[in-house]
């Protein structure tokens, strides 16, 4: 009887291993197909410099996006393309010049801005799709000079279980965390008092710019609910950027709360809306 149970267990383990291998193979084929579609679009513009970067969702299962990046470079080589790819160190240096953190590189708007600074021809972003498990991979190809999307591609993959645990990525220099995936045990920063900017007589110069729209920013919300390390994103005038910073400095937030019930500093995206009355 013991021998029979052991045999059944061994057969079950072998079957599970074969199933895992089949899923890995199917996933690799889907990623290769996505890489080939993306490479085909990329080569139509004959780029010399490409920034390939994962978006925030990739941090839940970074190995998949890393596999996609490798497959993309292989696919481009197969069709005779040999562009320059920017390294993570080059991206980090560009972020530092803009007074941004390394964890800001997973934000799409930040990447567009940094790609322009690096004089990249194309920006290729990678992302994961899941509900509730990871079940897809996608790319978007962006013409940096025109700030225009040239197309997005996606493939379904064999579902990959994602942990239900919260995912936080901490900036090594500042100890500020990026909340990649929040659960009921983690509370993200939220506005408690975030009024729109006031355009008074002192704002005559700003009014002359006739700007009406939304200014995105990256901020650190401290444990006290105050915005620090504020950086407007995009090519803005000095006057407008400063007005956006001054506005957010007056805002108050509910800080991020950890599983231990204590607040912690967190990186977040906010927007300031300007309206001309």
Which CATH fold topology does 168-274 show?
TolA/TonB C-terminal domain (3.30.2420)
Convert the pLDDT of each residue in 155-201 to its tens digit: 998 877 666 778 899 998 899 999 998 888 899 999 999 998 876 54
The per-residue pLDDT for 213 is 78
Does residue 18 surpass a pLDDT of 60? Answer: no
Distance in angstroms (rounded) separating the CA atoms of residues 64 and 143:
24
**Domain boundaries defined on the chain:** 2-160, 168-274
Lowest mean pLDDT among 104-108, 223-227, 239-243: 239-243
pLDDT band at 1 (very low <50, low <70, confident <90, very high): low
The per-residue pLDDT for 197 is 83
Contacts for 262 with CB less than 8 Å, ≥ 6 apart: none
Torsions phi, psi of 225, nearest 5?
80, 25
Pairing relationship of beta strands 266-274 and 177-181 according to DSSP bridges: parallel
Name the strands in the sheet holding 134-143, side by side, starting at the edge strand that comes first in the sequence.
84-85, 49-54, 122-130, 134-143, 148-160
Does residue 16 surpass a pLDDT of 70? Answer: no
The per-residue pLDDT for 204 is 59
Give the residue with greater pLDDT, 203 vs 240. 240
Around Cβ 18, how many Cβ atoms within 10 Å?
10
- What's the pTM value of the predicted model, to 2 decimals? 0.86
Does residue 248 surpass a pLDDT of 90? Answer: yes
Distance in angstroms (rounded) separating the CA atoms of residues 56 and 269:
12
Torsion over CA: 101, 106, 109, 112 (sign): positive
Distance in angstroms (rounded) separating the CA atoms of residues 121 and 123:
7
Convert the pLDDT of each residue in 232-243 to its tens digit: 998 778 888 888
Convert the pLDDT of each residue in 133-153 to its tens digit: 788 999 999 999 999 999 999
Mean per-residue pLDDT for 196-207? Answer: 63
User: Domain 2-160 classified CATH 3.40.50.10610?
Assistant: yes
Convert the pLDDT of each residue in 254-265 to its tens digit: 999 998 999 999
């Amino acid at each position: 009887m013991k021998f029979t149970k052991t045999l059944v267990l061994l057969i079950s383990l072998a079957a599970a291993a074969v199933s895992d291998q089949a899923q890995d193979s199917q996933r690799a084929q889907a990623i290769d197909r996505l890489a080939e579609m993306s490479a085909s679009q990329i080569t139509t513009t004959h780029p010399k410099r490409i920034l390939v970067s994962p978006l925030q969702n990739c941090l839940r299962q970074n190995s998949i996006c890393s596999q996609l990046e490798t497959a993309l470079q292989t696919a481009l080589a197969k069709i005779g393309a040999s562009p320059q790819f920017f390294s993570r160190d080059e991206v980090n240096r560009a972020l530092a010049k803009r007074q941004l953190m390394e964890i800001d590189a997973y934000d799409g708007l930040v990447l567009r801005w940094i790609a322009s600074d690096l004089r990249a021809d194309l920006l290729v972003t990678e992302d994961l799709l899941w509900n509730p498990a990871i079940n897809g991979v996608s790319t978007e190809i962006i013409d940096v000079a025109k700030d225009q999307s040239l197309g997005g591609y996606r493939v379904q993959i064999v579902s990959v279980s994602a942990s239900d645990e919260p995912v936080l990525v901490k900036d090594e220099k500042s100890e500020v965390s990026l909340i990649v995936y929040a659960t009921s045990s983690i509370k993200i920063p939220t506005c408690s008092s975030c009024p729109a900017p006031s355009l008074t007589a002192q704002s005559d110069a700003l009014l002359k710019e006739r700007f009406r729209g939304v200014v995105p920013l990256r901020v650190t919300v401290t444990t006290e609910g105050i915005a620090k390390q504020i950086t407007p994103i995009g090519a803005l005038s000095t006057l407008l950027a400063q007005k956006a910073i001054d506005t957010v400095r007056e805002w108050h937030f509910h800080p991020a709360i950890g599983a231990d019930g204590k607040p912690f500093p967190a990186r977040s995206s906010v927007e300031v809306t300007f309206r001309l009355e």
